[in-house]
Amino acid sequence: MSRHKKIKGLGDVVATITEAVGIEPCEGCNKRKEKLNQLFPFGIEEFTEEERNYLGTFFESDKQELNAKDQKQILDIYFRVFRVKPFDPCTNCSGVWKSIINKLRKAYEN
């Protein structure tokens, strides 16, 4: 594994250590690595170009209210990027929506 490769999760850490001590990865090792990365991911996923374009337009609009289409789009992006198990936030709870949008904005700006 290259030192410059992005570490996606625990599986990449284990793979780096085993390679450093001279253990060549087999098919089972690679499957374990992927499973551990899924179970214990690090960081967030990158936005797709479509998501980045949508969020750019959304943040520029400075909407005060979210319609059902915006809610679905925002949640779909949030669940994927932050690897959050889907849930149904209260449609009347502005605090939950503000938190979700603030997290997306911070990730978008970085």
In this prediction, residue 88 carries a pLDDT of 87
Quote the CA–CA distance of 52 and 97 in Å, as a whole number: 19
In this prediction, residue 90 carries a pLDDT of 80
What distances in angstroms separate CA 40 from CA 3, 8, 86, 97, one per listed residue? 20, 9, 17, 26
Q: Mean pLDDT throughout 9-21?
A: 92
Q: Which of 109, 106, 104 is nearest to 75 (CA)?
A: 104
pLDDT in tens, 39-82: 888 888 899 999 999 999 999 998 888 888 999 999 999 999 99
Q: Which of 92, 85, 104 is nearest to 66 (CA)?
A: 92
Mean pLDDT across the chain, nearest whole number? 89
Quote the CA–CA distance of 110 and 46 in Å, as a whole number: 10
